[in-house]
Amino acid sequence: MVRVISVDAERFPIAGVFTIARGSKTEAEVVTCTIRDGNHAGRGECVPYRRYGETIEGVVAAIEAVRVALEAGLDRTQLQAVMPAGAARNAIDCALWDLEAKMAGASVARMLRITPAALETAYTLSLAEPEAMATQARANAARPLLKVKLGGENDAARIRAVREAAPGSRLILDANEGWTDDNVAENIATAAALGVALIEQPLPAGRDDKLRHISRPIPICADESVHAAKDIDSLVGLYDAVNIKLDKAGGLTEAIKLRDRAREAGLGVMVGCMVGTSLAMAPAVLLAQGADYVDLDGPLLLARDREPGLVYDGSLVSPPDGALWG
């Protein structure tokens, strides 16, 4: 039977405004790929990311470019060879995982030979002035793990404001490449003095060699500097951990390889996300089993999620039900 492929661009409103060092957004723009084979259908969601030159239109076009091959039966292994890593491949790869599980009458968790459990996820505080970030932190001070978006001037004041407002929470700082050679050491020292647990991508990818030559009292995690398993060797000695995102890796297939290679190299593992719906988070929840840090709060930042969605209990996110994915 010939497969039927559909591609949809969708928008989900964010609760308020989400701001990082590169700009602000009020909605999550996603692309969903659905692959039908007889009575079974698999879905995958991706979030095009302008940081890597991706757009909704470009991702849709990239999926359409392999439509004939997908309809003819292109599988996940073949997909890795015909498409580069990125959002478009992620949507297809996750749809193929979902379809494979449904056709086999099994779950993706069973295919991976894991028994998934609920995970503690970070909750993200949007970049703002110190007082406004303190207000966000105070409202979420009961959460055990907060991720703090930074990358502007006077980040030291932001770190202090958040720490004072949420004294009991562990903190991850995410500069999104926004620090400089002039302030990175000072910001790391401030973070260390305030008991921060982890710092993500303080310097721009490709211009981060300074991290080899400064004191790192806090683990430093690569985000924009890591996409696929092939990147790991260049990060050893430069970073202490990697943030794995399905949209960067180009799907669950490559993300598993990246996770395993990172562990072999002695690096810590974070599993993160773009701002997307529960459909995008679902495969990442399985990937994140056993991760050192989990940042899969995308649906918590939305005003409206998919139905059914993942179940969140405070900062605990449960594994996906088959009606959603996998």
Interatomic CA distance for residues 180 and 195, integer angstroms: 22
Using only C-alpha atoms, the chain has a radius of gyration, in whole angstroms, of 19
The verdict on 213 and 300 lying in the same domain is: yes
Asked if residue 323 is part of any domain, the answer here is: no
pLDDT at 21: 82
Q: Which of 25, 102, 147, 149 does the annotation list as catalytic?
A: 149
For residue 36, the domain's CATH number is 3.30.390.10
pLDDT tens per residue, the chain (326 residues)? 579 999 999 999 999 889 888 889 999 999 999 999 999 999 999 999 999 999 999 999 999 999 999 999 999 999 999 999 999 999 999 999 999 999 999 999 999 999 999 999 999 999 999 999 999 999 999 999 999 999 988 999 999 999 999 999 999 999 999 999 999 999 999 999 999 999 999 999 999 999 999 999 999 999 999 999 999 999 999 999 999 999 999 999 999 999 999 999 999 999 999 999 999 999 999 999 999 999 999 999 999 999 999 999 999 999 999 999 99
* C-beta separation of 313 from 94 below 8 A: no
For the CA atoms of 160, 161, 163, 165, the dihedral, rounded to the nearest 10 degrees, stands at: 160
Instruction: Indicate whether 242 and 282 sit together in one domain.
Output: yes
Q: Which amino acid is at 281?
A: M
Q: Does one domain contain both 97 and 126?
A: no
Domain end call among 105, 127, 147: 105
The answer to whether the beta carbons of residues 148 and 172 sit under 8 Å apart is yes
Per-residue model confidence (pLDDT) at position 1: 59
Statement to judge: residues 303 and 258 lie in one domain: yes
Cα 23 to Cα 299: distance, rounded to the nearest angstrom: 20
- Residues 44 and 189 both lie in one domain: no
Q: Is 257 within 8 Å of 229 (Cβ atoms)?
A: yes
List the alpha helices (DSSP H) in the chain.
Answer: 56-65, 67-71, 76-82, 87-104, 108-111, 130-139, 155-165, 184-193, 232-235, 246-249, 252-264, 278-287
Verify that 174 and 90 share a domain, yes or no: no
Cα separations in angstroms, 268 against 137, 219, 241: 26, 9, 4
Please say whether the beta carbons of 317 and 118 come within 8 A. yes
Shared domain for 141 and 56, answered yes or no, is no
User: Residue 172 and residue 197: Cα distance in Å, rounded?
Assistant: 6
Q: Bridge partners of 34?
A: 6, 43
Whole-number pLDDT of residue 13: 95
For residues 246 and 309, membership in a common domain is answered with yes
| Catalytic annotation, pick one of 102, 147, 245, 248 | 245
Residue 133 sits at φ, ψ, to 5 deg, of -70, -35
Q: Does residue 149 have an active-site annotation?
A: yes
* Whether residue 88 is found in the same domain as residue 162: no
Domain count, the chain: 2
Q: Give the C-alpha separation, 224 to 269, whole Å.
A: 14
Take residue 105 and report the two structure tokens written for it.
């009458």
What's the length of the chain? Answer: 326
Long-range contacts made by residues 48-53, C-beta under 8 angstroms, separation at least 24?
48/87, 49/87, 49/247, 49/248, 49/274, 50/22, 51/22, 51/224, 52/86, 52/248
User: Is 114 within the bounds of a domain?
Assistant: no
Q: Is residue 112 part of a domain?
A: no
pTM comes to 0.96
- Asked whether residue 232 is assigned to any structural domain, the reply reads yes
Known catalytic residue at 102: no
Residue span of the structural domain in which 132 resides: 119-317
Q: Give a yes or no: residue 67 inside a domain.
A: yes
Residues 192 and 259 in one domain: yes
Residues 6+ apart with CB under 8 A from 58: 48, 88
Q: What are phi and psi of 192, to 5 degrees?
A: -65, -40
Rounded Cα gap, residues 265 and 236, in angstroms: 7
CA distance between the termini of the chain: 22
* Domain at 187, CATH number: 3.20.20.120
CA distances 190 to 154, 163, 255, 323, Å, are: 11, 11, 33, 45
pLDDT for 19 equals 87
- Looking at 43, 75, 105, the residue that finishes a domain is 105
- The domain boundary residue, chosen from 105, 140, 175: 105
Q: Are residues 16 and 101 in the same domain?
A: yes
Phi, psi of 82 (to 5 degrees): -105, -10
Residue 325 lies in a domain: no
CB 56 within 8 A of CB 47: no
Q: 149 near 295, Cβ under 8 Å?
A: no
Q: Is residue 155 part of a domain?
A: yes
Co-location of 147 and 226 in the same domain: yes
Give CA angle at 101 (100, 102), nearest 5°.
95
